[in-house]
Amino acid sequence: MELTFEKDDLLYSLQVLQGVAGGRNTLPILSNVLIHAAGGTIECMATDLEVGIRMKVEGTITEEGAITVSAKKLGDIVKELPVDKPINLATTANDRVEITCGDGVYKIIGLPDEEFPQLPSVEGQALKVGGETLRSVLQKTEFAASTEEVRYFLNGLYFNFLEHQTEVVATDGKRLALARCEPLTSQEEVNGFIVPLKAIREIARTFVDAGEVSISIFENQILFTDGDATLTTRLVEGEYPNYEKIIPESTEGRTVVSKEQILSAARRVALLSNPKNYSISLEIDSEQVQVSARTPELGEAHETVPVESSTGSVQIGFDARLLIEALAHIETDSLAIEFSGKLNPVLIKPVSDDDNYVSLIMPMRLDPASE
């Protein structure tokens, strides 16, 4: 095999693939990237047996063939090569790979492609979603997914196909994030599925510039592709909880504040929260929101943020980390905090014309000294 690449084309693909091949794999071949050239097309692939990515790479084929080579080592070498010189990659005897760029020659040991796991290809009908829409719903919800192994069915994002819209949901039991988009037409037998969190993170990297992404579901796997890149992953098996039940249909109070002001205040005040539970307090009234924290061993802090409008008053305790993440994922200049008492779920929403996003946080009981 003999191929020629421009540095940026090859490096971009290797950097995406390293997210999958760079993990702690028991099989040496899974740390490698497969480079395959045939029929005028060059593809690079990586898999950890849970997530697999295949990417087309621009380049010139002098001789077709295939080889696997360390994704990290090849990526490190290509990263340091000059931009203005073409990169020539050729296989030699005994599965060696020779990389030539300008006056530099680098030889690394590969493994035969026969040992590399096969990645599934597109089968049957696919549903289509705009790339910007897909990236948006993932970015708005991913942070709320659970990373604990006990409730494995929460270790991912749930795509729920409804008649008039599609809902993408993540929750870890303490918080929830829900983003809505236009209804996606799926195969009739599919009402929804759970995509694992690791795959969600790779989807955002793999399809960062995609205009449209096709999604195919077969057996217990799902495949995403934009024509140039393809990502496959196993679906999370299990029944997703009935999340609609914990989202209040109405609330008693609502306050609207500047996102930047409330987020900055929360970040600063959280510096003096108790490192055991990161508790901070929001005291809301008709004129302001006071953000405060008190820790006997550290000290105390409070800031006030003016409200744009407000109905009702309450003092609520939060885990500062959960509150800050929820606030940070609001994309409008102003946000609404909706509440019904100090121990009921709190909703945080963007202030805009649509109702396509909501974040929910379960409050925490405040220390009597903080009230």
Domain end position, chosen among 115, 135, 158: 115
Domain end position, chosen among 91, 115, 139: 115
Q: What is the CATH number of the domain that holds 274?
A: 3.10.150.10
In a domain, 121, yes or no: no
Tell me which residue range forms the domain holding 27: 2-115
Same domain, residue pair 50 and 110? yes
Same domain, residue pair 76 and 39? yes
pLDDT tens for 46-93 read 999 889 999 999 999 999 999 999 999 999 999 999 999 999 999 998
pLDDT tens for 194-241 read 999 999 999 988 998 899 999 988 878 899 999 899 999 999 988 899
Same domain, residue pair 260 and 343? yes
- pLDDT of 302 over the 70 cut: yes
Same domain, residue pair 207 and 263? no
> Is residue 170 a contact partner of residue 240, using CB atoms and an 8 Å limit?
no
> Is residue 28 a contact partner of residue 111, using CB atoms and an 8 Å limit?
yes
The number of distinct structural domains making up the chain is 3
Same domain, residue pair 16 and 69? yes
Same domain, residue pair 226 and 155? yes
**For residue 28, what pLDDT is reported?**
84
Q: What is the mean pLDDT of the chain?
A: 90
* DSSP-assigned letter for residue 370: G
Same domain, residue pair 228 and 271? no
Same domain, residue pair 108 and 144? no
In a domain, 122, yes or no: no
Full-model pTM = 0.88
Q: Give the integer Cα–Cα distance in Å for 288 and 314.
A: 11
- pLDDT of 179 over the 60 cut: yes
DSSP letters for 231-278: EEEEPPPSPPP-GGGGS-S--SEEEEEEHHHHHHHHHHHGGGS-TTT-
Domain end position, chosen among 197, 212, 245: 245
Count CB-CB contacts under 10 A for residue 354: 7
**Average pLDDT in the 28-45 region?**
93
Same domain, residue pair 152 and 110? no
pLDDT above 70 covers what percent of the chain?
Answer: 94
Same domain, residue pair 220 and 328? no
* DSSP-assigned letter for residue 364: B
In a domain, 120, yes or no: no
Same domain, residue pair 110 and 169? no
Q: Identify which of 259, 152, 242, 149 has the alpha carbon closest to the alpha carbon of residue 192.
A: 242
